[in-house]
Amino acid sequence: MTYINSDAIVSTGWLAARLDDPGLIIVDASYFVPGGTEPAKKQFAEGHLPGARFFDINDIADPAGKKDHAFPTAAMFAAKVGALGISNAHPIIAYDHMGGACAAARVWWMFRHFGHTKVSVLDGGLKKWKAEGRAIETAAPKITPAHFDVIPTSSIVRGRADMQANIAAKTWQTVDARSAGRFTGAEPEPRPGLRSGHIPGARNVPFGSLYDPVSQTLKGPAAISAVFKSAGVDLAKPITTSCGSGVTACTVALGAYLLGKTDVNIYDGSWLEWGADHALPLESGPAK
């Protein structure tokens, strides 16, 4: 059994054979929790895939947002990725240090949201690339600015009001990508000041459950399908994903896309927004 939408990921072997392709752009989208992009920039300077440029999700973001990496406007995104030398003609491969979970899948979802479908995630990411002894370089990339046009799509970035209204309306399934302990409230949140628990009615698909724990590559389609099914998620119905801050929510969206689901939306504020607002309802314990 193969993925229905296999275009979303590429193997390290596939990419290694195409490093000399001048039309292909590789971006390092690493992000650390805690730490953000600063330790990721240090990691990039110490060694990255040949020709890669660093995609800073905290910079390619709305500066007026109430959190780091708040989803950018179309104009902001176009200007920032154009400055990275990315045009609509370029196929893009995004990787990170966690096999794609933090934050290559976020970059994948962002490009697709803004109408650029020629984007894939490097399965296994930097860890697998290094483990295989493949080329690493420290030189800063040579970037020629390009022009990028945003193409409107039907994908949606949900807000707090949307999520609150859906508790009663049940228009879509809310799928939370945080760990089971954080979802149930048994484990404290890593960010201070946030309540424990989950949005009422949410289902839990921890992003790590989609990956092989050793290789950090995505599991096969049957295994990913089983994860969604065991969590009570019906892939035939609408989904909005959530997580701690809108990053690993995109990993769950990626997993669903691989199985053929193209209409997944994300809640960008995620638990960073919901958990901080004591006026908003929450549940604890397993999904009801």
- pLDDT digits 0-9 by tens, 22-36: 999 999 999 998 899
Q: Distance (Å, rounded) from C-alpha 23 to C-alpha 203?
A: 40
Residue 243 tokens read as 């997580």
Q: Note whether 214 and 249 are same-domain residues.
A: yes
Q: Tell me: the pLDDT tens digits for 118-163?
A: 999 999 999 999 999 999 999 999 999 999 999 999 999 999 999 9
Residues 94 and 171 in one domain: no
In this structure, the answer to whether residues 53 and 98 fall within a common structural domain is yes
Say whether both 126 and 171 belong to one domain: no
Cis peptide before 17 (omega within 30 of 0): no
Q: Is the pLDDT of residue 252 over 90?
A: yes
Same-domain status, 97 and 169: no
Report d(CA 19, CA 34) in Å as an integer: 32
The count of structural domains within the chain is: 2
Does a structural domain hold residue 21? yes
The whole-number pLDDT of residue 1 equals 60
Q: Which positions are catalytic?
A: 243
Task: Identify the pLDDT of residue 34.
Answer: 86
∠ CA 61-281-237, nearest 5°, is 70
107 and 163 inside one domain: no
Q: Are the C-beta atoms of residues 5 and 260 closer than 8 Å to each other?
A: yes
pTM: predicted TM-score of the whole model, two decimal places: 0.97
Residue 284 lies in a domain: no
SS3 137: strand
Q: What is the domain range of residue 29? A: 6-131
Residue 288, domain member (yes or no):
no
Q: Looking at the domain assignment, is residue 187 inside a domain?
A: yes
Nearest to 62 by CA among 265, 268, 284, 275: 268
Q: Say if 111 falls within a structural domain.
A: yes
**209 in a structural domain:** yes
How far is residue 216's CA from residue 245's CA, in Å, rounded to a whole number? 21
Q: How many CB atoms lie within 10 A of CB 159?
A: 13
Domain boundary among 74, 97, 131: 131
Domain-located, residue 280: no
Residue 87 lies in a domain: yes
Are 111 and 39 part of one and the same domain? yes
Whichever domain contains 254, its CATH number is 3.40.250.10
pLDDT at 200: 98
